[in-house]
Structure 1
């Protein structure tokens, strides 16, 4: 895996993944940025959500669950001072579909958390407390 991050100006950077996709990162004005992109720590949180969501959807698809929507809402707490790493993250999965089986959704979230999500497992090994919950909704 490879990535490049290039400084643009102020607190703005362009990150390019090895697969050729780019993203803008920027800081707030009080840190020399212009608020034109996500913050780097937000990127880390988004990466965690994407990694775990990928697993959950893969598991539910293999279990032949008719998912029509899946999102995860993440709430994070950070330590005071500098550095200010994440200390706690809560991930709330909201899975929508027709006749979804609660044990399958629960299993998918648990397997992602304990076995498959590299980002989650790495952050927990670094001392971040990560909790998970889920809600099942029927399509409107």
Structure 2
């Protein structure tokens, strides 16, 4: 796997992945685009979300929505690394028979992602306190 990051002036950078997708990042505390540290948070949330949604779909759970609320703390000194990251999954789902997503299935999916599948979370967990929680909310049509 490879990537490239090109300086675009000021403190803006264009990151291009090996698969050809691009994203703008802003080193000016996220004034014009996500900062690199914000990208780390979004990366861990998206990696873990992929696992949770996939596991629930394979378990034939009627998932219709999954949102991960990420909060983090950083060190007060340079380098201002993350000292803790918390991922809270909010899962919704409802099938035509009136069945909601199973709480036990969501608990299992979050645990499997945290302990076995999410490479970003597991990698960060080597130096950061990464925690997970979840809630299953009743279905509400959008």
Give the TM-score normalised by the residue count of structure 1.
0.93
Q: Cα RMSD (Å) of the superposition?
A: 1.2
The reply to whether residue 89 of structure 1 matches residue 78 of structure 2 is: no
Q: Does 1:114 align with 2:110?
A: no
Aligned to 1:27: 27
In structure 1, list runs of 5 or more residues that go unmatched: none
Question: Once the 2 structures are TM-superposed, how far is the Cα of residue 27 of structure 1 from its aligned partner?
Answer: 2.9
CA deviations over 1:13-68 (Å, ceiling 9, x no partner): 0001111111111133xx7x8x2211000001100000000000010000000101
Matched, 1:135 2:135: yes
> Following TM superposition, where does structure 1 have runs of at least 4 consecutive aligned residues deviating by more than 3 angstroms?
none
Gaps of 5+ in 2: 95-99
Tell me which residue corresponds to 2:106.
105
Determine the structure 1 residue equivalent to 2:41: 45
Partner of 2:97: none
Q: How many residues are aligned here?
A: 135
TM-score, normalising length from structure 2? Answer: 0.92
